Structure 1
Amino acid sequence: MDHRTRLTPCLPLPVLVLLGCLPCLLLGFPFGPALQLDATPRTTVLFDGLLGYNRFSGSALDYSTLLLEEEAGLLYAGAREAVYALDTSNISSPRTNHSIKWPATAEQKRQCLSKGRDNQTECYNHIRFLQRLNETHLYACGTHAFKPLCAYLDVEQFRLSRFEDGRDRCPYDPAKGYTGLLVDGDMFSASQYEFRSTSDVRRNFPFPLLKTEEAPTRWLMEADFVGSALLKESVNSSIGDDDKIYFFFTEKNQEQMPYSSQTRVARVARVCRGDIGGQRTLQRRWTSFLKARLLCSIPDYELQLNVLRSVALLEAADARDSVFYGVFGLEWKNVKASAVCQYSLADIQKAFDGPFMENQDSKWREFTGKVPQPRPGSCITNQHRALLINSSRDLPDNVLTFVRRHPLMATPVLPLRGRPLVFKRSINYSKISVLPVAAVDGVVYNMLFICTDEGWLHRAVELGDHVHIIEELQLFSEPQQIYSMVISQAQRSIYLSSQSGVVQVPLATCERYASCFDCVFARDPFCGWDGRMCADVSLHTNRSSLIQDIEAGKKGCPSYTGDGSAVHRSRTVMAGDDVLLQCELHSNLATPLWTLNGRDLQGYGLGSGYRVGTDGLLIIGARPKQSGSYDCFSQENGLRVPVRRYTVRIQAPVLPSPGPSDLTEPPEEFLPRPLHPSSSPSEQPQASPPAPLPPGPESLAYRHMEALYVSLVAVLGGLCLVLTVILLYVSFCTRGGAASPTRKYSQQGGLVAAATERKRSSHLELKTVSSHCNGRTDGRTSRRGTGAAEDGSLLQIVPGEGGQLGSPGSDRAPPPAPPLPMPPPLPSTDFANGLSATLPSVLRKMNGNNYVLLRQVETETTSPLYHSFTEELNRILEKRKHTQLSDVETDESSV
């Protein structure tokens, strides 16, 4: 059956081309090199590979808040109906850990249930606020089964001493966004309180209590708060300025934006610490509340990340030089993408000093009228005091009325360099912390610790205008969100809380890097090579002897003069076998390079006899001329490091003598060439593979389909998510009809075409092979393969059968195609591990050092395809029985 007939039930080709090209046209193609899209972590550390970590898991769940006190060596953790005090040196130690039970009363839980709340998650006392109040007490607030309650916690006796109503200080819902801080006994908080539909920014105590205005212009629209920070701008201020408190949140979009599909927008708001409200206008309301929009976008491609998820402050010696880091995401729930944008306090102040917005006819427009003096929304400064305005209660009514109606600024706050610092596809960042670290050369680098919504931690270093992700750590065996994160420089640890407990992770694990090049390639400011091992920089008093290169990641290590560091192996196999030479790279940014007898292997197409992947080199149908010394190098940062060396000997097959039972002669094409009686074994001509059969209708159909896909890839111009889904859908449909085994398997990997030329068999039987074949015994083969059976069952390809590969028949209904994502996908770009954008069939699986092979159209000009051949080789291996020479001693089998 012609393949065009089998495509008919799916989607017409013009529709496929239009759907595939539309996202690329909307977003632009390609992305410029200025922004590294989809930054790749250099190494991936799974849960079982974590080093030096400690865990605490008490009887409670949902560890939502953390409070670190370095001097006391204590980490306070607020959980569901409990508060814990943990030893910072080892949170797992039970000797100094204390706990307080603080459950909601049975009556309050009953009332919570009567309101229709969930007894499994909501009708408990979730601790949302926990901070130091004074030298003797902490102040804590909890949801208390939808009736917030606050308490004073005696640190010395570690008990709750006094309770207060928390309805104005803590959210009633544990899922509502919330932020709060204590400043010299003053409590500032922001959330949606009680059952109100309007969020507030409040000063809770001492008197006077302040809040945001509701009418006539609502200052906040369904705001979801993620963080707050105090900046002491009064210190050494030339204008006698006041300290300010900044709040970060996402709220409902009120403006006329070019991105009409966006319903949410990220904001930063500020209030003056000395604000006490107005005398007649704005009584018990903020007189200094202003808010501005935070932009985090890729300017040239109209890609706007408008949901703020977390914020971190990098405070400078002078508060005016401080920098904020924000984690942004998309508001679409079915698409994952994250970015980290960086903002200077100077740019935020410039926005608050700029023009105002005005609400006219329910639409926000820039205010063009005269602004009263002194400037509305500003803190009390020397200029105000010269006008006998010593507090906010002395401000004129016209100034306060203007503030009441114009809380929004017209100028948005742009990120530094006008674009994100890092962008990540297929992942949702949820928390961020920043720590300055001094490298060996004395240069201070900002280390970023970024958490994902599935419990992974990314350790990254800021390098000028971009970020290098050193590693990604799987902190939990099961995916779970991280609620809070604090860093202890004294303990050189980072503490993270989640639903199940608290985990303590070292700031760096330098011992993980086994060689000088591995240590330098990591570009970790915490680590340096001391000549014997990768050591912690802080533990060395003489740092001049340490080797470290943060900027380039390639200088300092001695050059290799030989292959002494490479692992040596030997292989002896029969001619015609497929040989896999393993060379798995531990770095996601490294690419493999193979040499034969000191010369680089050129070309990896079907005709070359070689295929290269992330786990090794596959020799297809080995021939005696392919014997020799194979070296595998890891290429990273412009350097090549030897990893493996193989000595491969390929022996010609030994022919059995014919017996009396041989009644028929095999076809001439399968007979080996006779040895010349006068020639020595070394002078015998090598057996050549049989000549290929003339192309039949099925071969022509396969070539036509190959040309169709190549032309389709040329039209699209790059890889994007929608195109990948469409190709998967078309791939499934093309396998739905009857096809020969050669065509069906060539669509999966492309290896059978060469195998068919060597062995003409009308029946091809494939079996799965244990992962021990390639030396991998940790159970990760199935995760990195392209679809091998995991239960060891027999897989067959029978000529003329339809259905999926390995299915017993063609009567099984195919699964429905996945739905197309609503938002436009992100344009394709070069992969950081060496994959070219011309390979539209390769996608990187996040949080893992692996790739998934979808489809490849091979030509003589295509680039090497780096993927795992382990499972692909296993499918065709069992058909060929190895005939091992009895007089040859080898240390390994061919596969």
Structure 2
Amino acid sequence: MSGGPAHLLTTLFMAAAAMGYRHASDLDATPRTTVTFDELSGVRRFNAHTLNYSTLLLEDERGILYVGARGAIFALNSSDVADGSHHTIHWEASPEKQMDCLQKGKNNKTECFNHVRFLQRLNSTHLYACGTYAFHPLCATIDANRFVLPSHFEEGKEKCPYDPARGYTGLIVDGGLYTATRYEFRSLPDIRRNLHQRPLKTEESPLHWLNDAEFVTSVLVRESKDSPVGDDDKIYYFFMERAGEETTSFFDKSQVARVARVARVCKSDVGGKKILQRKWTSFMKARLVCYIPYYEVLRSVCSLDGGGWASTVFYATFTLSAQWRTMEASAVCRYNISAVQRAFEGPYMEYQDWARKWSRYDGAVPEPRPGSCITDHSRRKGYNSSQDLPNSVLDFVKLHPLMFEEVKPAGEEPLLVKKNVAYSQLAVDRVQALDGCSYDVLFMGTGDGWIHKAVVVNSVIHIVEEVQVFRDLQPVESLVISRIQRSLYVGAASGIVQMPLASCARYTSCYDCILARDPYCAWDGRACRTITTTDRTGLVQDIQSGNKGCWSGSGRGSLPWKNRTVLQGDDVLLPCDQRSNLARAVWLLNGSEVLGTGQDRLRVGVDGLLVTDTLPQHSGEYRCYGEEQGLRTLLAAYSLTVLPELPRSPTVAPSPHAASQATNDMKVAYISAIVTLVVLCTVLSIILLYMSCLEKRKGKYVLGEPRPASVELQTVSANCLRKGHREEEEEELTYPDGCLRIIPGEAPTAATSPVKELPVAVPPLPPPLPAELTNGVGALPNVLRKMNGNSYMLLQQQEEPLASPLYSASFTEELSKILEKRKHTQLVEKLDESSV
């Protein structure tokens, strides 16, 4: 890998342009607003003394969120996961199984526990749960009302993975358990059906239907409902596997790549009678492409339907494959169910032994079509179940599980290509906006604990906001949406987070509310509020363009003027906080726009306007606007006054007579100073000689009783409090009569008391400048400002008091914090190499 991330990204976008995609800037998207962890509001959290809260089951109508974690299952109140009313099932692996796990060489900090990987509703009264149980999987049927473990457990080797890190997916459909994973250490990946009178699995010979597969998710599509052909329900599986066919890799066609797949099986499949006994007769798979080279690592899939299975769409997130570890990037693609059906109805592929690869099969195809479900057409020909299928069909299915056609995304291009982000999870909601259209809202969890909320407008993704839901960096492992509670539940290693689907109150003006383009929010004339299905009158919203609906200046609001007065030659910073990462700062000086580039001594940055070496002509009225989607929102207003330099007092040349008199006066002053110094030296010598004689006589004669002849001067703090230390007790003494106490008694000697250093006197601080003389720079902390989009300056006009907490952080820490915050905004595409 040569050329680095920048070269790779350029190559990727060149490839995208060559294939006819939109411009690279259209594929990427910047979140409009950034909400850090400390700015969160309305968020509730749950965690207990365990880890890995990754398996979520939401029963919205019952108001319960079930959580499978390491060694525990929780039942939380879905309206408030943090209210303390939860119930807990402790399900730890036994010490014997943990010891057995350790003897197999497994990790006693991550693997040798019972990780709950499966948690679904089995019937109206019971739940079904499976856990890894220290590499000895177990399953349990749990009474949902009593919420306790049963006395008997089931063997889980056919239903649950042994490894907590192994890809796994499972569904319970009409009483049958459909799972996909690698079930044992030496077994091959498999799609199985259990808890059914006809257990099934995938074929392993003479061809492996799955090639080192890692499963991501599975989706049930009820295609039998209102089907005109009497079709069957289908379960779709999404996974990664090693490719046996020639790939369309842009970079290296010689290496064996891992590709994304979608496979399907029919719910009513019961296997073959003689051939493919207890095996799927309806298994088919096809490649899933997102049309960006090397975006082949499938991370998450979520489905939506518009009221019928024919309108089902799949949203999928991809990341760069392992060969490109020098950078992070993600892609989001949308697939229609019709595109998946076309691939499964198209040509097959066949494995050629002599070439050791898969290629298109152009031979004859038997009837009924291999891999298809039983339909009315099949029944009219006498095929009422898969066991009635002819041997020619079943033999063909064994050798042709792979389809030639690829499943292509809608529009044959990605919805989003996001740099510097690795999306790990995805959840989708469909919202009807005020314009009568339905919009898909995507919640995408990242590998470092952020949630990106986006809305799909036509074929473009607009990222409404990015929210940091975890302070510590950790991947988002699961996402579930509750339409009843209007909440998003986020599962991760450290706990569960419940956050609102929308925080409309965060938008304080009409323009801010409209520009957000959040389908959950609308402006009611006074505030931005959440839309309800019952009351929609008088609301304003514009999802399509995000700039219509505010009238008569309602988007601007009124801001108080701030005065700034400085002396000529000083620097002044006029701060302007841009809440939107998509807005452009526009400054007006007395009604004329300040360009900021090429203008003398004016620099426009993301944090404000810097005027350097001010002149009187810089005085005037400054207004800062945020310009976005053609709208301008007033964000700050200043009145700047630049005072001229103070005049210097004139000097007068002295006369010769005055100069002579001054010389004589200087001579007299020198002689007087010398005489004074001699007298002082003599007096000091006499005093020192006297003190020396007293020291020699000390201790030879004692007249009368000893008495405390010395005094100790002690000072106390400004509030006249000090702590008195004694061997028996410690008490606080208060001195109401001042901060200096004269205490009679013996002064402490070196033998009895440690020597205390006298405090160094600190000169008083100068009085602060009046408010009208501040320039906006001194009042700021040592903040790293990015001015003019490509250079950094540390602005500090006046020193803060030494006791200020701003001095506790070093410049390095300060720089790290600012750069960490800027990391998620990406306002500048290319920074100078000398920026930092």
TM over 0.5: yes
Cα pair 2:319 2:329 within 8 Å, conserved: yes
Once the two structures are TM-superposed, the CA of residue 643 in structure 1 deviates from its matched residue by 1.3
Q: Tell me the residue number matched to 1:90.
A: 80
CA distance in 2 between partners of 1:275 and 1:788 (Å): 69
Q: How big is the shift at 1:850?
A: 6.3
Q: 1:566 aligns with which of 547, 559, 582?
A: 559
Q: 2:11 and 2:280 mapped to 1: Cα distance?
A: 48
Of 196, 204, 207, which residue of structure 1 is paired with 2:194? 204
Larger radius of gyration: 2
CA contact (8 A) 1:845 1:851 kept: no
In structure 2, the partner of 1:249 is 239
Shift of 1:563: 7.5
Among 610, 618, 623, which residue is 1:626 paired with?
618
1:644 lines up with 2:633 in the alignment: no
**Amino acid in structure 2 at the alignment position of 1:172:** Y
Unmatched segments (≥5 aa) in structure 1: 1-10, 663-770, 795-805, 808-841, 858-866, 873-895
Q: Is the 8 A contact 2:136 2:157 kept in 1?
A: yes
> Does structure 1 retain, via aligned residues, the 8 Å contact 2:784–2:793?
no
How far, CA to CA, are the matches of 1:311 and 1:15 in structure 2?
30
Q: Deviations over 1:499-547 (max 9, x none)?
A: 11101001111111111111111111111111111111117x4413011
Q: Please point out which of 306, 309, 314 is paired with 1:316.
A: 306
User: Which deviates further from its counterpart, 573-582 or 360-369?
Assistant: 573-582
Moved more, 255-264 or 28-37: 28-37
Residues 495 and 504 in structure 1, CA contact (< 8 A), matched pair in contact too: yes
Q: Runs of at least 4 residues of structure 1 off by over 3 A?
A: 14-35, 561-564, 655-662, 771-794, 842-846, 848-854
Aligned residue number for residue 587 of structure 1? 580
Q: 1:312-337 CA deviation, whole Å, 9 max, x = no partner?
A: 01023221221111111111333211
Q: 2:257 aligns with which of 259, 263, 282?
A: 263
Superposition pairs of residues 353-432 of structure 1, within 5 angstroms: 353-360=345-352, 361=354, 362-432=356-426
Aligned-pair CA distance for 1:145 = 0.5
> Could you tell me how far 1:122 is from its partner in structure 2?
0.4
Counterparts of 2:241 and 2:631, CA distance in 1: 48
1:438, distance to aligned residue in structure 2 (A): 1.5
Count matched residues. 688
From 334, 339, 345, give the equivalent of 2:326.
334
Are 1:516 and 1:534, in contact at CA under 8 Å, matched by a contact in 2?
Answer: yes
Contact 1:844 1:851 in 2 (8 A): no
Q: Aligned to 1:515, which of 500, 509, 523?
A: 509
**Unmatched tracts of structure 2, length 5 or more:** 655-774, 800-810, 813-818
SS at 1:642's partner residue?
strand
553-562 vs 217-226, greater mean Cα deviation: 553-562
Measured at CA, do residues 774 and 534 of structure 1 come closer, stay the same or move farther in structure 2, by a change above 3 Å? Answer: farther
String of CA shifts for 1:645-683, please: whole Å, max 9, x gaps.
Answer: 111111221243477999xxxxxxxxxxxxxxxxxxxxx
1:660–1:308 distance in 2 versus 1, CA, 3 Å? farther
> In the alignment, what sits opposite 1:75?
65
Q: How does 1:184-199 map to 2 (within 5 A)?
A: 184-199=174-189
TM-score by length of 2: 0.77
TM-score normalized with structure 1 length: 0.72
**What corresponds to 1:617 in structure 2?**
609
Query: Secondary structure of the equivalent of 2:394?
Result: helix
Is 2:480 the counterpart of 1:486? yes
Matched, 1:182 2:176: no
User: Contact (CA 8 Å) 2:317, 2:331: kept in 1 or not?
Assistant: yes
Counterpart in the other structure of 1:135: 124
In the alignment, the residues of structure 1 paired with residue 36 and residue 336 of structure 2 have an alpha-carbon distance, to the nearest angstrom, of: 35
Q: By how many angstroms is 1:378 displaced?
A: 0.5
Q: In the alignment, is the contact (CA less than 8 A) between 1:212 and 1:219 conserved in 2?
A: yes
Shift of 1:177: 0.7
Tell me the residue number matched to 1:65: 55
> Compared with structure 1, are the counterparts of its residues 780 and 61 closer, same or farther at alpha carbon in structure 2 (3 Å cutoff)?
farther
Q: Is the 8 A contact 2:74 2:86 kept in 1?
A: yes
Q: Assess if the C-alpha contact under 8 Å between 2:72 and 2:91 holds in 1.
A: yes
| Aligned match for 1:526, one of 520, 529, 532 | 520
C-alpha separation between the residues in 2 aligned to 1:582 and 1:790? 12
Q: Which residue of 1 aligns with 2:155?
A: 165
Secondary structure at the residue paired with 2:462?
strand
Provide the secondary structure at the position in 2 that maps to 1:646.
strand
Question: Sequence identity of aligned pairs in percent?
Answer: 47
Find the partner of 2:277 among 279, 283, 293. 283
Q: Over the residues paired in the alignment, what is the CA RMSD in angstroms?
A: 3.4
1:183, CA displacement in angstroms?
0.7
Shift of 1:343: 0.5
Structure-1 separation of matches of 2:585 and 2:643:
27
Partner residue, 2:430: 436
The one-letter code sitting in structure 1 at the alignment partner of 2:824 is: N
CA spacing shift, 1:774–1:612, aligned 2, 3 Å: farther
Q: CA deviation at 1:304?
A: 3.9
Cα–Cα, structure 1 residues 657 and 482, in superposed 2: closer, same or farther, change >3 Å?
A: same
Equivalent residue number for residue 106 of structure 2: 117
Q: After superposition, what is the alpha-carbon deviation per residue over 1:372-423, rounded to whole angstroms, capped at 9, x for unaligned?
A: 1111000011121122111111111111111101100000011001111122
Greater RCO between the two (CA within 8 Å, min separation 6)?
Answer: 1
Per-residue deviation at 1:31? Answer: 7.4
Counterpart of 1:49 (choices 39, 43, 48) is 39
Cα deviation 1:698-753 (Å, max 9, x = unaligned): xxxxxxxxxxxxxxxxxxxxxxxxxxxxxxxxxxxxxxxxxxxxxxxxxxxxxxxx
Say if 2:587 is the partner of 1:598.
Answer: no
C-alpha distance in structure 1 between counterparts of 2:336 and 2:642, whole Å: 64
After TM superposition, give the deviation of residue 774 of structure 1 in Å.
6.6
Q: How far 1:25 moved relative to its partner? A: 6.5
Relative distance call for 1:349 and 1:561 in structure 2 (3 A) is closer
Cα deviation, 1:227-276, whole Å, max 9, x if unaligned, reads 10111111111111111000001111211123125621000000000111
What is the distance in 2 between the residues matched to 1:290 and 1:15? 39
Q: Distance in 2 between matches of 1:593 and 1:22?
A: 35
Cα deviation for residue 790 of structure 1 reads 12
